[in-house]
């Protein structure tokens, strides 16, 4: 799988590696992908690291989240945290193809995408979209699986405070009622296998709230997929 990833990255126009600054290189050079992008065992329900051979962490066994599985490509750590900041806040949308290749190389991601009927990017509120100028998750979805992308299905219906400033409990409360299924597509959700895509997962509050909305409309299976997972 990593050979396929490196081959895909090599098709980019040569540039300086954003991690080690080797020249010429891809946006992330081969050595840095090998060093920082190796997959690790993760809980199938929340994507936190677990010992090898363990399918789910204790917290998810005791209280299963509203998704059937959760997948993450890398830890939200060096160098990926900085690269995600560039992608998200500095309009480095050219990163999307490289990020998508890394995601596809992670365990279980390819089968999840193949089995899905729809890929739904987490939407931004109108205010956040106006401020940022683009939805980074939508850009990533277009690079990841454009044929299954359904950006019109899930809506952000109200603004919420920045999640980074809130505790775990406050995050859950803040996102209640923040998402809805577009009425014209509500009936079509029933029976669908859905991959719900976000860039970073911290507590899972936003993904879980969106998943609950989709469950109420009859979604058959929901996979939460993120590029990076905080640990």
**Same-domain check for residues 139 and 62:** yes
Instruction: Find all residues with CB under 8 Å of 6, minimum gap 6, and list them.
Output: 30, 33, 34
Range of the domain at 32: 1-38
Mark whether 24 and 51 lie in a shared domain: no
**Do both 78 and 28 map to the same domain?**
no
CA distance 10 to 26: 6
Quick check: helix, strand or coil at residue 70? strand
Residues 115 and 183 reside in one and the same domain:
yes
Min mean pLDDT across 81-95, 147-161, 162-176 is at 162-176
Residue 180 CB: number of other CB atoms within 10 A?
17
In a shared domain, residues 17 and 54: no
The average pLDDT across 145-159 equals 94
138 phi and psi angles, rounded to 5 deg: -65, -40
Domain check: are 63 and 153 in the same one?
yes
Residue-wise burial string across 73-112, b where 16 or more C-beta atoms lie within 10 A, e elsewhere: bbbbeebbeebbeebbeeebbebbbbbbbbbbbbeebeeb
Q: Of 83, 39, 46, nearest to 168 (Cα)?
A: 46
Mean pLDDT of 202-217: 95
Same-domain status, 9 and 79: no
| Confidence at 12, pLDDT banded by 50, 70, 90 | very low
What are 96-135's pLDDT values in tens digits? 888 898 899 899 999 999 999 999 999 988 888 888 889 9
Are 27 and 18 contacting, i.e. CB atoms less than 8 angstroms apart?
yes
Alpha carbon 99 to chain centroid, angstroms: 10
Q: Which residues contact 50 (CB under 8 A, 6 or more apart)?
A: 41, 42, 43, 56, 57
pLDDT at 206 over 70: yes
Same domain, 33 and 136: no
* Claim to verify: residue 8 and residue 112 sit in the same structural domain: no
- The full DSSP string for 219-230 is -SEEEEEEEEE-
Question: Is 172 a residue whose pLDDT tops 60?
Answer: yes
C-alpha distance from residue 92 to each of 28, 30, 135, 136 (Å)? 13, 20, 12, 9
Please report which confidence band the pLDDT of residue 20 belongs to, taking 50, 70 and 90 as the band edges.
confident
Mean pLDDT to the nearest integer, 53-57: 94
How many structural domains compose the chain? Answer: 2
Residues 82 and 32 reside in one and the same domain: no
Task: Say if residue 88 is in the same domain as residue 201.
Answer: yes
193 and 178 together in one domain: yes
- Global pTM value: 0.87
């Amino acid at each position: 799988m990593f050979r396929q990833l490196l081959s895909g990255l090599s098709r980019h126009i040569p540039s300086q590696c954003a991690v080690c600054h080797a020249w010429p290189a891809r946006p992330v050079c081969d050595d840095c992908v090998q060093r920082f992008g190796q997959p690790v065992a993760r809980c199938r329900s929340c994507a936190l690291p677990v010992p090898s051979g363990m399918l789910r962490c204790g917290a998810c066994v005791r209280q299963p989240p509203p998704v059937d599985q959760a997948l993450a490509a890398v830890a939200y750590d060096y160098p990926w945290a900085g690269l995600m900041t560039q992608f998200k806040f500095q309009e480095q949308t050219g990163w999307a193809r490289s990020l998508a290749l890394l995601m596809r190389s992670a365990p279980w991601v390819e089968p999840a995408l193949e089995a899905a009927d729809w890929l739904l990017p987490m939407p931004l509120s109108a205010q956040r979209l106006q401020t940022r100028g683009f939805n980074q998750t939508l850009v990533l979805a277009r690079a990841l699986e454009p044929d299954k992308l359904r950006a019109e299905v899930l809506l952000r219906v109200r603004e919420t405070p920045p999640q980074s400033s809130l505790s775990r409990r406050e995050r859950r409360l803040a996102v209640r009622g923040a998402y809805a299924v577009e009425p014209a597509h509500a009936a079509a959700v029933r029976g669908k296998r859905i991959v719900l895509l976000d860039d970073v997962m911290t507590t899972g509050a936003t993904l879980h709230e969106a998943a609950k909305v989709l469950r109420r409309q009859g979604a058959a299976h929901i996979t939460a997929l993120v590029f990076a997972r905080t640990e």
